[in-house]
Chain A
Amino acid sequence: MSTKKQKVIQKKLPREVYSALKNVAGEQWIYEQRSVVETYSKLSIEGGSFVKKHEKDPHVLPACVVLPASTNEVQAIVKICNRYHVPFVPFTNGQVFCNPTTQDPTLIIHFSRMNKIIRIDTQNMCATLEPYVDYGMLQAEAMKRGLWNGGTPLATTLCKLASQFAFAGLWQTDLKYGLFSRNIVSVKMVLPDGEILTTGSRCIPKAGDFFEYGPGPDLMGLQRAGVGTNGIVTEITVKLHSWVGDESIPDISAGRPSLVDVHDPKYDNPDKPLKNHKLFWCEFDDFETQIKAMREIAHSGIAIGLNATGVYSAFYCSQTQAMTIKRCEEKFFPEWNCYVILANVTSDKQIEYEEGVLRQIIDEVGGRFLSESYKPEVLEALKPWNYDCIRHSTGYRMNRKFYANAWLPVGPIDSAVTTQREWKKALDTFGELDITDRGGAEDTPFIYALQRGHFCLFETDNYPDPTLPDEIKKAQGFGIYGAAAVVKNSLGPMLMAFLNVEPFTTMFPEAGPDSHLFMRKIRKVFDPNSVAAPGRQVFTEQEWQQFPEAVKNIVNKMREMNDMPAVE
C-alpha cells in the first residue's frame, strides 16, 4: 500500500567501516548522501525494486556507494566488508539485481572509474577490459584493428562485458559466435573473501592470457553467471574475431537528429547494413513453417545470425510509444518471421553463396522475403536493424513502458512451441498488461538460434505501467508462474528473475535436482562470511528459514497451478 509523502530513510554504515572505506578509495570517491544512494536504488527491469519503491521500503536503499579505481582497491574494500560483515553489491549500469539483498546496511561498489580497455592483442585476437568497459567501446577499438567481439546484446552496446559475465550475454550473432560465455578467455576476480583469482592460462606465470580452461577443473565456468555473488570481475579478457566490415559505422544518409526532430524515423534507418554484411527478413504463413525454416537455416551452416523478433520489432523500430502501439494494433510487422545476417568473412563470394542457400530454403518451406516489391513499407520500418544487427543501439527501447518480466527459456527449437503455448495460457489466466504482451502468444516469441542452432533461446515479455504497482506485481506473478511452467515443461529458464536467483533456486528443487544444496557448498567456499549480495544466488539454510512466508506462499501457489507440490 503506497503511503505518499512518507519519507524513506536510508541506513548508514557504522562509522569505523565508513572511515576504513574512505581510507581506501579517498574521500572524493565515497558517498552516502541521500540523493546519491537514491540513484543506486531503483533498477531498470527488476519489478521487485519498483514495488519496494512504491511501498516505501527503506531496504531498497544502499547505505553507501564507493568507487574503486583498481583491483587492489576492490580487494581492500572487500576485505573491509569481510572484517565488519557488511554486505556489498557490485554495480555497473544498474539494470538488474543490484539492490541490497538484505535488511543490513549495504555497500554498493560502483565501477564507473574502472573503464579502460587494458589491452587489445591483435595477434591472439583477444582484449582485456576493466569492468566498466561496454560493448560499444570494445567494438569501436577492435573494428579499427580488423577485429570484433562477435556481437552485441539486444539490451544494447552499453552493457558492460564484466556484468554480462555475471549474467548472460545473449547476442544477435549467437548463431555463429555463440553466447558471451563462449567468448571469454579469462577473468581476474576479487573473490568475496578478498582473495584474487585469475583463471585460464593467465593464472600461470609467463603463460600469457589466451586460453580459457583450467588448469585442471575449470573454475571460470563455475564463476560465470554467478550474478555477482561469487566474486567481482576486475579484469576480463574476451575473444575477438575477424571483422570484415567498416572500421567504424558510417553516418546514415539522413544525417543526425536534433531535439527538434529526434523522433523522425529517418535518423534510425540506415539504408543498408555495414560493408560485407547483408540482412534478410523472411515472413511465413504460420509458426510451424517459421520453426521449420529456422531449423533448416541453422543447420545449413550459413549466416552469422538467425533470430525471430515478433512483436518486439514494434518497440525496437518505433521512435515513440504511440507508434509502437499503433504498429501492434495494426499487426504491422510480420507475425511469423525471422531475420538472417550474412557476412563475407572468408570471401567476397560468401554472401552470394549463402544467399543462394537461404533462398533455396525459404523457397522450399514456403516463406517470403520482405523486399522492395513485397511489403516495402515494413522493410523500411525494419531498417534500424541494418546497424543494430551488429551494434545494437536501439535495443531496450520500451518508450514509455516498463519491461518488468520476461520468460527466457532455452531448449531445442521445437520448445518454441511450448513457450508460446504456456505464455498464452498465462495471458489467458492473468490477462495481459499491455497489447505488446500478446506478442509471443499470438505471434512468434523472440527466438535466438544459438551455436548453429544446437539450441535456442525464447523470450516473451510483460510491459506494465511503472507508475502502477499492481501492474508490476502482476508482472511478477507472470514471472513466478513462468518459472513453474517452464520447469514443469522441462525447459531451462536461463536468466532473469527466475531460477538462477533466490527464492527460486531453493523453491524449485526439481532443478539439478537440488541445485540449491549443491550451490550452498559453492557459496561456502567462495563467500564464507556471506557478504557478497547474500542470498541472491542461493540461500544458506538460515537465510531460507528467515525468508518471508508470504512470498513462499505465492511461489507455492504458482507451483500448485502447474500441478507441482508445495515446497516446505
Chain B
Amino acid sequence: MTYYEKKPEKKFFEKELEDYRDSIWGCARCNWCQNHWGWNVKSAEYSEVCPAFHEYRIFPYSGMGKMHMARALLEGDFDYEDAPEMVKFLYTCTTCGACEMNCQRLQDKEPLQVNETLRAKMVADGVGPMPEHKGLIKSVKNYDNPWMQPRTQRDRWARKIPVKDANREKVETLFFVGCTSAFDNTQWHVTQNTARILLHAEVDLGMLGKSEICCGSPVARIGDRETFISLATRNIELLNNTGVKEIVTFCPGCYRSLKFDYREVPGVPELKPRVYHTAEYIHRLISEGKLKMPGKMKLKVTWHDPCHLGRHCGIYEEPREIIRAIPGVELVEMERIKDQSWCCGGGGGVRTAFIDFAQKTATKRIEEAKKTGAQAIVTACPFCEQNIGDALSKMDEDIDMYDLTDLLIKALETEA
C-alpha cells in the first residue's frame, strides 16, 4: 500500500504498530524530536527539548530512536529477548510530546504515538510496563485511583467547602477533581482554591465526591489500554448521567483524557459535557467580569507550561492572561515555552519508575526559571507541582512554586 491509498482511519486506542509502518520506516532522522524548534531557539544552553535524550545522549531515548526500534520490532529484526533493555528506553519518556510536536509539524509523523503504541504492545505482550508501574495499575483497577487510596478519602479535601454533590442534585458545572489532588493533602490547596474561586464567581458547582473515578490518564500513558478503555467507558457513562453542561478540571492529565483521549477510544459514546481546564474556565470568568481581583501584590513570576495542558491541548495564553490580569504580578518568560516547553520530568510514569531522572529534569527547569529573575514558578498541574516542588525543596534556590489558583486566591481575598 502506498501513501496515496487512503487507509481506513482508526482511533488511537485501537491502532497497532503496523498502522504506523509508513511513518516509522520514513523517519527522516531530522533530529527535531530532540531539539527546540529552530525559529524559537534563543540560546545554545536551551536548544534541546527532549529530557531523556538530553540526559542520556543516545538515540534510543529520543523520538527518532523509538521510531527505529519500533520498525525493527515490527519487521522482526529483533524480539524482546534480544533487546530487554528496550523497556527502559520506552519508559524513560515523560510523554511530554515535544518530539511529537516537532515531528508532526515537520514530517507529519508521530513518534510519541508510536512510543505509546509500543508501550501498549509491550503491556499486551507481558513485557511492559516497568515493575514500578505495576502497583499503580493494580491500584487503578482495585481502587479507581493510582495511589492505593480508599475511595472514601477522595472528598476529604472538601470538608469545609460547600460544593454540591452532583450525584444528588442537578448542577451546571462539575468539578472533576482528579486522583492526585484529591488524595495528596499537599495538593489540597489547589482543589480548595479552585472550588473557592469558582464559588466566588457564583458558578453552580458540583462534584462527584467519592464516586469520582480515575480518568485513566496514568494507565493510558503507561500503555495499559485495556484498563484505560474500561475507565473511559465508565467515566463517559458516569459523567453523561450527571446531566451537567460542563466539566472543569485543573489536572492536565484528566483534561486531556476527558477532552481528547476519550474521543480516540473505539466503540464508546461521546462525552456530552464540554470540558474545560480551570485556566480556561477562570479566564472566561475574568473576561465576563465575574472575578474581580482587588488585591495587589508585588511579584515577578514565570509560567511553566504543563505539557499535557499546553503542548498537548493548546492552553498557552489563558493562564498567561490570568497572571497578567492580577494586579502587581509581572510575568517573565523562560526560553522554552508553550509548544517548546521543557517538561517538569514527572509525566508518562517517569516519576514512578525513574525518580532520579524525573528530579534532574525538574532541576533543569528550576534553573531555567531562575534565569528569568522570577521570584516564583507558577503552573497548573499537580504532577508538575509535585515534581518541581520536590526538586526545589532539595535545592538552595530562592524561588517559590505556586499553583495558578494560589495567586488568584491571594488577589481575590486580599484587600486592595
Contacts and interface: CB of A to CB of B under 8 A. Distances in A.
Physical contact A–B (CB less than 8 Å): yes
Contacts of B316: 255-256, 258
A465 B3 contact: yes
A116 B45 CA distance: 9
Interface string A253-273: 001111111110001101000
Contact of B41 (A41, A110, A136, A257): A136
Interface string A37-73: 0111111110000100100100000000101000000
Contacts of A267: 105
B47 A36 contact: no
Given A34-B78, A42-B71, A393-B39, A257 B339 contact: yes
A343 B222 CA distance: 51
Interface in B127-165: none
A415 to B, nearest CB: 29
Contact of A321 (B44, B108, B313): B108
Contact of A465 (B22, B41, B68): B22
A110 B311 CA distance: 30
Q: In the complex, which of the residues A4, A44, A392, A468 has the most CB atoms of chain B within 10 Å of its own CB atom? A: A44
A34 B69 CA distance: 9
A36 B29 contact: no
A75 interface: no
B32 interface: yes
A266 to B, nearest CB: 12
A116 B2 CA distance: 42
A401 interface: yes
Interface stretch (A5-13, A176-184, A483-491): A5-13
Interface stretch (B58-66, B231-239, B408-416): B58-66
Nearest to A249: B39
B262 interface: no
Contact of B58 (A6, A31, A95, A401): A31
Contact of B77 (A43, A56, A152, A257): A56
A397 B79 contact: no
B82 A400 contact: no
B64 to A, nearest CB: 7
A141 B42 CA distance: 7
Contact of B43 (A5, A141, A394): A141
Nearest to B107: A399
The B interface, classified by DSSP as helix, strand, loop or mixed, is loop
A39 B104 contact: no
A344 interface: no
A41 B77 CA distance: 12
A393 B312 contact: no
Interface residues of A, number: 82
A492 B100 CA distance: 39
A43 B25 CA distance: 10
Interface in B89-126: 89, 97, 100-101, 104-109
Contacts of A138: 44
A133 B44 contact: yes
Given A110-B58, A393-B39, A259 B21 contact: no
B101 A259 contact: yes
Contacts of A248: 41-42
Nearest to B38: A393
Interface string A86-102: 00000001110000000
Interface residues of B, number: 69
A403 interface: yes
B58 A140 contact: no
B78 A38 contact: yes
Contacts of B57: 29, 67, 110, 112-113
A335 interface: no
Interface string B27-41: 111111001111111
B339 to A, nearest CB: 4
Contacts of A553: none
Contacts of B28: 44-45, 95, 396, 398, 402-403
A141 B45 CA distance: 9
Interface in B67-86: 68-69, 71-72, 75-79, 82-83, 85-86
A36 B313 contact: no
B83 to A, nearest CB: 4
A533 to B, nearest CB: 18
B270 interface: no
B26 interface: yes
A95 B64 CA distance: 12
A319 B69 CA distance: 26
B30 A158 contact: yes
B340 to A, nearest CB: 8
A319 B28 CA distance: 15
Among A34, A139, A268, A321: residue with most chain B CB under 10 A: A34
A320 interface: yes
Nearest to B341: A256
B77 A398 contact: no
B79 A7 contact: yes
B35 A134 contact: yes
Contact of B38 (A38, A256, A392): A392
Given A35-B83, A134-B47, A141-B43, A156 B38 contact: yes
A69 B101 CA distance: 30
A4 B76 contact: yes
Interface of B: 2-4, 21-23, 25-32, 35-44, 47, 53, 57-60, 62, 64-65, 68-69, 71-72, 75-79, 82-83, 85-86, 89, 97, 100-101, 104-109, 260, 310-317, 337-340
13 contacts: A35-B60, A36-B58, A38-B78, A41-B68, A67-B58, A95-B28, A136-B35, A138-B44, A139-B41, A140-B47, A156-B38, A256-B316, A398-B28
